[in-house]
Amino acid sequence: MSYLFTSESVSEGHPDKIADQISDSILDNFLAFDSESKVACETLVTTGQVVLAGEIKSNTYIDVQKITRDIIKKIGYTKSEYKFEADSCGILSALHEQSQDINRGVDKEKKEDQGAGDQGMMFGYATNETKNYMPLALDISHNILKVLAKVRKDSKEMTYLRPDAKSQVTIEYDDHNKPIRIDTIVLSTQHDMFDEDEKVVLNQIEKDVKNIIIPKVKALASKEIQDLFDDNIIYHINPTGKFEIGGPHGDTGLTGRKIIVDTYGGKGAHGGGAFSGKDPSKVDRSAAYATRHIAKNLVAAGVADEVLVQVSYAIGVTEPCGVYINTFGTSKVELTDGEIALKVEKIFDLRPYSIEKRLKLRNPIYTETAAYGHMGRENETVIKRFERSGENGKIEVKEIEVELFTWEKLDYVNEIKSSFNIN
């Protein structure tokens, strides 16, 4: 019997995502000027106010207020009627030094002996139902909001759009876990009240979403996915009828409150740890990236159609407590999931320092992860520019070439095929 599965996403202007982007931008700036910085930065945003809190260990100084305002401006909160605006919002910083009790477990004389920054379990997941090895419902949900943001910022269409938005997609699957069709699309997008009649406003938004946004989203998909868009999709566009009040004025935002949006949309599993604002010594982040890297390469190599990878750590301990693999009965090799896990442990070094080195995680690569998901993104090399006030008030500028989303690379496929005797 067929079944339905749903995933959601939120825009870069959603309050929780504003908080994530601020936290990760602060992290990037610390790493740009001191790659060994230890950062755990939490952000709260509400009406006209930003609160920064957390623990920092670094040899550099950065202007967190300027960084915060720049991010808010980039997202699009630039009008006073939003009740949260880049130039006028208050910013309170309560950042302080990292606990020595935590640091002693991480920093070791030999970098290879670096311990995990905390205990916990982390999961990575991949499926071959999309070209980026992500769950389909989440992939479409992200793309709806990416297109919406591009139209809002770069187009003369839908000029009434405001930054806050949420999407949700429900997919119908058959008995063999293959997607049949898109059942439902939900989109709530913040907007100006361009007409006194709420029905006129809602009707225009519904029309524009179906005629402008959805065709652009469909164009991004493969032919197989495009065929899932049919005339029977149920649409719920701004189902409350009005969404003028939004952003931090409508809903307080916090770092790390969208962990399912950040990962796999409810598919696979999640260990509970958030990512944004944390440097890679925190295995909540680095090991989650490492397990995604493993899962994606396993699926791409043909080991299975769907793979879940778990790794766990004890704080201050170098070696992981264990590695777990679940192929959900889709394995294409003559091995049990436990035997697959033993091979994975030999191929991938999961010590915290080795993960940092392999995935180049000590670089300032994190602001880009903080909206539209940390997984399933495009691996690319870019040049990023950072500024800080140096001695005598002079501005120090640093341009750094960094590789983004290294955990999305399919660079272990050949080694996996060789290890598993896959032709």
227 is in an annotated binding site: no
Closest CA to 42 of 68, 73, 11, 62: 68
**174 annotated as belonging to a binding site for a ligand:** no
Q: 44 phi and psi, to 5 degrees?
A: -125, 135
Q: Is 278 annotated as a binding residue?
A: yes
Q: Is 197 annotated as a binding residue?
A: no
What does residue 256 show for φ and ψ, rounded to 5 degrees? 80, 20
What span, in angstroms and rounded, lies between the C-alpha atoms of 111 and 96? 25
Closest CA to 296 of 139, 168, 397, 412: 412
Residue position matching structure tokens 């808010």: 72
Say whether 55 counts as a known binding-site residue: yes
Instruction: For residue 16, say whether it is annotated as part of any ligand binding site.
Output: yes
For residue 236 the two structure tokens come to 């719920």
Rounded to 10 degrees, what is the CA torsion of 168, 193, 75, 214? Answer: 40
Q: Does the annotation place 380 within a ligand binding site? A: no
Cα distances (angstroms) measured from residue 305 to each of 99, 205, 226, 297, 338: 43, 39, 21, 11, 17
Q: Compute the distance between CA of residue 406 and CA of residue 291 in angstroms, rounded to an integer.
A: 12
Tell whether 57 is in a known binding site: no
Binding site annotation covers 357?
no
Provide the 8-state DSSP code for 213.
I
Using CB atoms within 10 A of its CB, is residue 2 exposed (0-12), middle (13-18) or buried (19+)? exposed
Q: Is 387 marked as a binding-site residue?
A: no
What residues are paired with 157 via a beta bridge? none
Q: Is 176 marked as binding a ligand?
A: no
Q: Is 110 annotated as a binding residue?
A: no
- 79 is annotated as contributing to ligand binding: no
Asked if 319 and 292 touch (Cβ cutoff 8 Å), the reply is: no
Tell me how far apart the alpha carbons of residues 207 and 213 are, in angstroms, rounded to a whole number.
Answer: 10
List the one residue out of 144, 116, 135, 120 whose CA is nearest residue 296.
135
Handedness of CA 140, 143, 145, 147 (dihedral sign): negative
For residue 94, say whether it is annotated as part of any ligand binding site: no
Residue set of the binding site: 14, 16, 42, 55, 98, 164-166, 242-243, 251, 257-258, 274, 278, 282
Residue set of the binding site for K(+): 42
Residue set of the binding site for Mg(2+): 16
Residue set of the binding site for ATP: 14, 164-166, 242-243, 251, 257-258, 274, 278
Residue set of the binding site for L-methionine: 55, 98, 251, 282
